[in-house]
A and B are shown apart, each in its own frame.
Chain A
Amino acid sequence: MSTTQDAPAPAYTKKDFESGVDPRWCPGCGDYSIINQVQRTLPAAGVPRENIVFVSGIGCSSRFPYYMRNYGMHTIHGRAPSFATGIKLSRPELQVWVVTGDGDALAIGGNHFIHACRRNVDLKILMFNNRIYGLTKGQVSPTSEFGKKTKTTPHGSPDYPFNPPALALGAGATFVARSIDVEGPHLGGVLKAAQDHEGTAFVEVFQNCPVFNDGAYEFLADKASKADTQLRMEHGKPLLFGKDGKKGIRFNPRTVTLEVVTVGEGGITEADILVHDVQREDPTLAFMLANMGATPGFPTPIGVFRDVRLPTGDEITWNLIDQAKAAAKKPASLTEFLSQGETWTVK
């Protein structure tokens, strides 16, 4: 089945990943800028186009595969990770991406999502989080804000939203990241990191739905204030933010909490600022940062929360297969195989 061996890895450009079908998203939809970044990111890795598969569920976001010039499956609402897992376990040489929405991944698809995180099969999962059901025209989603008025919650949503990175970390994800549709270069960097990661890589992309949930991320995108509202996490760098980069996140050992401090004030130096480490095996700090996003008065972290290398589900599966093959005496013929156990012969 490995028709892939002999495939060359040509030098691609963005165009090489455009299927030629024009996207059918609404004017101004955040999905446009995301696909743009994906198509810019893919060439770098030089993976033959035909060895890449995009798998999606159902939703506006899930139309994605139609616009990529790769193999693709537009499947069933919430189930994309299960197809992707089958593809990757069957053909580990393929690069498999999952494109999903907040409802697709976390409402109906929540179980497949957490099991993907747990198994660490090498899938890159991009979740476009517009905090609403777009395709069905505006119902509450598991990431909609508490109390949010939507078509199915006219008096406000009674549900507390998921914190997707926290959920993924709780499920054991080895790679967890976040970016924003409008922050092209940043998004590109995060996508690259996801592509390079071996194992399940979960990327939450804040995406604006101008039609049914416009401005959900205004507070992060707004040019004037974004320096204060975004915390750009970078591996090995102190967690600084703010216009002049003087604000920072300090870890308070006494209270075991994070706090916002200002370098230069009250004797705070850069040395007091928490240095970001995506490779910590213990997910606690990543979890803490993920939850920080939800706490008022704190900036919203974007970038990579965690990037830890563990044997992937597909590696483990195929190691077991290879071991079994190695252990087996010469390939058994069909008859030998069928004759295992007790047999008798009729003349």
Chain B
Amino acid sequence: MADFRTGLTQWARKRSIWVFHVNAASCNGCDIEILAALTPRYDAERLGVELVPSPRHADVLLVTGTLNPLMRDRLKTVYEQIPEPRHVVAIGACALGGGVMKDCYNVGHGIDSAIPVDLYIPGCPPRPEAIIYGILKLVTGIPDPIITGEANVG
């Protein structure tokens, strides 16, 4: 019985991914692509992805942008409002490491300095397919690609 319950839960969690999106000082580029991933051409709803209006309903937090000081505390608040189990996906070069804005005075170097990040989707902006791939990867756990050259292996 217990096995069945955990099995059911795991099955459900893989197939129902409700996301909540935070724009932490981004340029809109990534945000458009997230939204585009839900529209007919890409239709992330096929995979059970749904955008929800309140962080309390969400499983996955999508964060875009450079995380300026005004947004940092707010991002933390949102993160705390999401019920466990929760995952954070950083989207776009800005959210990963500051991107092209790296040396501006009002930006952070990646949102992982404020909240723990589970998955990184690079790109400026990543195309909708890349976002869909990322979400798929988050639930299925496909290992990271090896693009770093042999030096990194092992």
The answer to whether A and B come from one shared complex is no
